[in-house]
Structure 1
Amino acid sequence: MAEDITNRGTMVADGAKRMTKVVVVESTHWHAPLYYGALRKREDVRVVGVSDSARLTGEEVARQFGCTAYASTPEMLDRERPDFAFVFGRHVDMPALAAALIERRIPFAIEKPCGLRAADVLALRQRAEAAGLYVAVPLIFRLSDTLAILRQAGGALEHGSFRFIAGPPQRYLRAGVPWMLDPALAGGGPLINLGVHFIDLFALLANEPIVSVSAGASSRMNGLPIEDVISVRLLTAGGRLGTIECGYLFPSDAALQRDFEFACRLERSYCVSREDGILVRRWQEDGSIASQRIPARFETDLYYPEFVRRVLDESASGAAPIAGLADAQRALGVVEAAYRSAAQGGVPVDPRNFDA
């Protein structure tokens, strides 16, 4: 049943500042701890509940915040009546978790991919838009030095090539999320987990609809039902081309967690990742080439505290989210198209076919 939200807000009747009540939904997720430090630093925020149906981390997280742990998210929402929620959980469960918040008119941020299918995210988007509800998605490269530098380099993306090879899938077993290795629960492997960020980055920079996706994938190394590695080719309506390669193959440790490289040709420059930043080479009016190395932070975990701060401020002020369900829907449509293409031997697939 939809909740009357007139008693929620950031101000009380006497004009004094009121604490924003926040809940953490499904804390057994490897990204959830990236949010906690920023939540603790907010003097205007109080975490009032933590849900964890897996019963693995909720009690400890609740103890750290001095709040109540719940096994049931709906029970927590009804008892705590929060002002904002940060939603994690299994990919298969995300649509139901989001629907519970939309029904109660609670603004929230939800981890990507927000569901298994683009059509599921479209349904959430339509409901949230009809309710006028703030919903943000951490497509984290939108806050990155990488995007800022590429935009400053000038012009739309003509061609982009991105490679992101993370550590082996056994790390998800150690993190207490074995469902990440089950495509029925996770939707797939590294593409739906990691590749969505680069689909979004390509779409932002190209600024044109992606109309054709082709892909090849392999599962032979890890022997799991999800892909070990996948290579995806994207083509826009105007002929802009992108390639994305992602996988669970890198021998990672605390010192070095992944292999990440990219190269982008924009209208007026060519940008290449380097270990310490981005090399930008620009054509000058006299035909000469100017070359510049710009420092950049490629460790994406660094941007989650800023995401927390930003979405809380956006939601309170009535601003639009830095990324929302429409962006997640677009990325997930490309993911579905890529998996369909890979299953059919690499034939091109139109990602717009997966919106309904």
Structure 2
Amino acid sequence: MVNLGPHFVDLFLRRSGARHVDLVAANLSASLHGQEVEDHAIVVLAGDDGSEAIIEVGYAFPASPAKRYCSYTSVGSKGYVDVGTSGQVSFTRASDGATESSIIDVDSDPLYDVFVRRVSETWADGFAGLPTLTDLSETMHVIWAAYKRSSIPSGEASLG
């Protein structure tokens, strides 16, 4: 959850329109591989504007070509979005029910280089356009709360 989940939590926090988001449910499991770190996690979020999201991530079979599992679904006043491990993504607009679909690369590994370059390019102007420490803190608050509800250790003693 701490490695794959923040991307989707941040997506919901930035795009839902909610001023406040609650962690409705969280389950982190290590049952697939029986290690001390989770191999699967589910988080359900709800915004004060009626929006909600279900985030499911995992390293189910790291040696397989797929490496990771991810599923993100969210509904709100603008519509419904669905992103899956295969890269199939669809967005259905609430206004007219029209659906747009596409295939995207959900493997985050290639994005690391892009992010490092962006940080380097924006250093002089205060990292304009990048997430702020407040953005990162809000995202991690949700992640640590998910761990707190779980028996899987996170390294974070409390939410403060």
Give the TM bin, normalised by the shorter chain.
Answer: 0.7 to 0.9
The verdict on how the C-alpha distance between 1:264 and 1:316 changes in structure 2, with shifts beyond 3 A counting, is: same
**Larger relative helix fraction:** 1
> Where do 5+ consecutive residues of structure 1 fail to align?
1-190, 344-352
Provide TM-score, normalisation by structure 2. 0.74
Matching residue of 2:47: 236
1:203, CA displacement in angstroms?
Answer: 0.8
1:309 matched to 2:122: no
1:284, CA displacement in angstroms?
Answer: 5.7
1:259-300: CA deviations, max 9, x gaps? 333333343433333646423333565xxx433333433222
Matching residue of 1:298: 106
1:322, CA displacement in angstroms?
Answer: 0.6
Q: How does 1:86-105 map to 2 (within 5 A)?
A: none
> Where do 5+ consecutive residues of structure 2 fail to align?
152-157
1:204 matched to 2:14: yes
Given that residues 311 and 321 in structure 1 are in contact (C-alpha distance below 8 angstroms), is that contact kept between their aligned partners in structure 2?
no
Larger Rg: 1 or 2? Answer: 1
Moved over 6 A (4+): none
Q: How does 1:116-195 map to 2 (within 5 A)?
A: 191-195=1-5
Give % identity: 28
Provide TM-score, normalisation by structure 1. 0.37
1:259 matched to 2:69: yes
Matching residue of 2:155: none
Distance in 2 between residues matched to 1:235 and 1:291, nearest whole Å? 23
Given that residues 51 and 74 in structure 2 are in contact (C-alpha distance below 8 angstroms), is that contact kept between their aligned partners in structure 1?
no
The verdict on how the C-alpha distance between 1:210 and 1:233 changes in structure 2, with shifts beyond 3 A counting, is: same
Secondary structure of 1:298 counterpart: coil
1:313-341: CA deviations, max 9, x gaps? 21123443511322221122112211222
1:226 matched to 2:34: no
**Larger relative strand fraction:** 2
Given that residues 73 and 83 in structure 2 are in contact (C-alpha distance below 8 angstroms), is that contact kept between their aligned partners in structure 1?
yes
RMSD: 2.8
Given that residues 80 and 92 in structure 2 are in contact (C-alpha distance below 8 angstroms), is that contact kept between their aligned partners in structure 1?
yes
Distance in 1 between residues matched to 2:58 and 2:36, nearest whole Å? 14
Secondary structure of 2:106 counterpart: coil
Given that residues 213 and 341 in structure 1 are in contact (C-alpha distance below 8 angstroms), is that contact kept between their aligned partners in structure 2?
no
Distance in 2 between residues matched to 1:293 and 1:271, nearest whole Å? 10
The verdict on how the C-alpha distance between 1:283 and 1:201 changes in structure 2, with shifts beyond 3 A counting, is: closer
Q: Which moved more, 1:308-317 or 1:293-302?
A: 293-302
Given that residues 264 and 271 in structure 1 are in contact (C-alpha distance below 8 angstroms), is that contact kept between their aligned partners in structure 2?
yes
